[in-house]
Amino acid sequence: MRITLVYDNTVCRRELTADWGFSCLIEMEGSPKILFDTGAKGHILLSNMEKLAIDPSTVEIVVISHFHWDHTGGLADFLEVNHTAKLYLPASFRKSFPGREVVEVAESIQVCENVYSTGELEGIEQSLVLKTDTGLVVIAGCSHPGVGTILKAASQFGNVSALIGGLHGFREFGLLQDLQLVCACHCTQHQSEIKRLYPEKWVEGGAGKVLSFYPHLSCRLHRR
């Protein structure tokens, strides 16, 4: 399984553009390509995808975590170049997409093989849960419902080993103790504290970061 950060507040490759927002591409063997969130600006999203050699037309599923502009701003431009992707939108999204297959997510559901949604938690945000041989990988947009709430919802599918995404306002650092990997990016205010407390778990984010999870090994990554 490979997760590529496409849109983030920082970059780890100079040719990419940093901007306030979040998006990542999820590639799992035997499952469709999934774009999670679309950042704030479509031209930055599509430019970063091009420079990362990601063809938008190959994305089969788009999952939006929540309605905030920094996660949905690039959606319209993306849909102009991708005419077939199925949309998984939180129930509070309240926007129609004529001619597009849309799944309104309220409760936890299976998106595809080994991929699940936590459901829309606290009426605002859904996170994705990816099943791997080494545990669950949770991808969050901003964690507005709270990291504890998200991890609890995800744990119905197994043991959580990794957390990736925005951790807005998060200070309950003890919740990360049992995880193997934390890549806290986008709106996370206390990145330095998480890194100080858990240097062995910490992975720096930024657009262009590629995290690869290999079967039968501990939940580590390929750094690029």
Residue-range domain boundaries for the chain: 2-212
63-103 pLDDT per residue, tens? 999 999 999 999 999 999 999 999 999 999 988 899 999 99
130-161 pLDDT per residue, tens? 999 989 999 999 999 999 999 999 999 999 99
One-letter amino acid for residue 67 of the chain: F
Architecture, CATH, for domain 2-212: 4-Layer Sandwich (3.60)
